[in-house]
Structure 1
Amino acid sequence: MADVWSHEDDVTTMHPIGGREESWDAVNGSWEGVASMSEGGEVTRTDQVIRVNGDLAYELCTESASMTIASDQLSLEGRATNVYRKENGEWKVVHHHADFHAEFAEMVANIGA
């Protein structure tokens, strides 16, 4: 994930587990936190709509994810929006917003409890 994200302080995310992160350190920490408690994950996107305006672009899509968290298999599907910015000739994610997923949020909260 670190390769596709901008590492600037203005990046943000709102994951399906809830909350909001602002800054590269916070966004990266949230991805690393979920990755550390899961295994075998895969995310695919369908129904993509992409719009480009200069050095900014956005994507609307449906994300489907599957992973194992604490020995429990989890599959989820939801709407997502990704915002991209061209930095040094490469498109980088600057914002990710996904529908809230109560089961996923509860699993993550129970592991952290």
Structure 2
Amino acid sequence: MAIKQAEDGVRAASDGFYDALTRMANGNAQPMSACWSHGDDVTTMHPIGGREVGWDEVEGSWRAVADVAEGGEVRPSDRLVRVFGDTAYELVTENASMSLGGERIDGAYRATNVYRFDDGEWRMVHHHTDLDTEFVEILQHLND
């Protein structure tokens, strides 16, 4: 696969992920499923802290946030994509705003996304975003 074609494929996968992330920020985590590889090797490190390993944990983390999220939008900016064979990474700034349990949160987060070319499509295998203590505190308060 030519590098330009691969980079375009990764950008399209990224667009799908950020569309799914916006939908999650509005209470619907279901679209995440199409963006991700579903293997035991997928991982996340969200702005809410912690680390999830394997599709079941990763999916559960998206659902947990979707359960309390509404009125949100996540827009990517300042993207950089690099492809190495069937693996790619993306450096991006996530510009996010949403309400979590009625409390508004806004921020710009540095993120790293890792993709793998699986069954003819680029799918996410890792998502890592800066930790946000305000985000963590809001979710802890909601769990009290």
In terms of fraction of residues, the more strand-rich structure is 1
Root mean square deviation of aligned Cα? 0.7
TM-score (normalizing by structure 2): 0.77
**Amino acid corresponding to residue 61 of structure 2 in structure 1:** S
Q: Deviations over 1:7-39 (max 9, x none)?
A: 111000000010000000000000000000111
Worse-matched range after superposition: 69-78 or 24-33: 69-78
1:60-99 superposed matches below 5 A? 60-99=91-130
Deviations 1:42-67 (CA, angstroms, capped at 9, x unpaired) = 11111100000111000001111111
Runs of 4+ in 1 over 2 A off after TM superposition: none
Percent of aligned pairs with the same amino acid:
55
Residue aligning to 1:59: 90
Shift of 1:84: 0.1
* Long gaps (5+) in structure 1: none
**d(CA) in 2 for partners of 1:95 and 1:35?**
19
Q: How many pairs does the alignment contain? A: 113
CA distance in 1, matches of 2:115, 2:51: 18
Per the TM alignment, residue 72 of structure 1 is displaced from its structure 2 partner at its CA by: 1.6
- Which ranges of structure 2 fall in alignment gaps of 5 or more residues? 1-31
1:13 aligns with 2:44: yes
**Counterpart AA for 1:36:** D
Greater helix proportion: 2
Structure 1 equivalent of residue 75 of structure 2 = 44
Rounded to whole Å, the distance in 1 between the matches of 2:107 and 2:140 is 17
Amino acid at match of 2:82: R
Given candidates 117, 123, 131, the residue that maps to 1:100 is 131
